[in-house]
Amino acid sequence: MVITDLTKLDLNGTYTYADYLTWQFDDAVELIKGKIMAMSPAPSSEHQNIVTNLGGAMFNFFRNKPCKLFYAPFDVRLYDRKKSIIANRDIYSVVQPDLCVICDKTKIDTKGCLGSPDWVIEILSKGNSKKEMQIKYQLYQESGIKEYWLVYPGERAVHQFVLDEQSEKYQLLNMYSGEDIATPQLFPDCQIDLREVFEEDEEG
């Protein structure tokens, strides 16, 4: 049954990706461990500026390379990597990272990504910082995403987390400031000048 109004859903209920596919309302939501998480309102101009600058640098690096860069809105379906996936009803988390890089092309289909991207970047805003810092951090860690960057626009900073294979926990590898050159551990040849990422458009 198609759902066209978010108010028709029980926000305390538990849903799967199969349910998610029936939702056709305007509200932007993510599904995290079966729970509906409302996304923040339309991103601020500051947020969009950072996405554009950061994504532009990443696009130039990944052009003509096997790994692919994707921007939100782009559905990433995550599941417990210790379990197998049988059908859409076995998937309880669907997120839309601001930026993600996927190297295993078999994970990419017409609906987005099935499984963990290699590198995920989230840009925080006042409305979603708690979600990104706590809930998504745990989800991305459990899902086996190898590298996770949190971008703090107000502080002009980036926290770089890398998954430790033995402990299966994130380690804080670097805390970059807005004056630094940031380098993903997965792609050491990718040099990102954070001065350019946080640079604001002075025109207009």
CATH code, domain with 173: 3.90.1570.10
Separation of alpha carbons 10 and 1, rounded Å: 15
- The H or E element spanning position 47 is helix 45-62
In which band, very low, low, confident or very high, does the pLDDT at 13 lie, cut at 50, 70 and 90?
A: very high
The answer, yes or no, to whether residue 183 has pLDDT greater than 70, is: yes
Task: With a cut of 70, say whether residue 177 has pLDDT above it.
Answer: yes
pLDDT of residue 203: 45
Q: Which of 18, 17, 16, 20 is nearest to 6 (CA)?
A: 20
Q: What is the pLDDT of residue 202?
A: 44
Q: Using a pLDDT cut of 90, give the percent of the chain over it.
A: 69
Answer yes or no: is 135 within a domain: yes
pLDDT digits 0-9 by tens, 75-103: 999 987 666 665 677 888 999 999 999 99
Number of compact structural domains in the chain:
1
**Structural domain for 187, as ranges:** 43-197
pLDDT attached to residue 194: 97
Task: Take residue 79 and report the two structure tokens written for it.
Answer: 């599941």
| C-alpha radius of gyration, the chain, whole number | 17
Asked if residue 12 belongs to a domain, the reply is no
Nearest-angstrom CA–CA distance, 135 and 5: 25
pLDDT at 204 over 60: no
User: Is 25 part of a structural domain of the chain?
Assistant: no
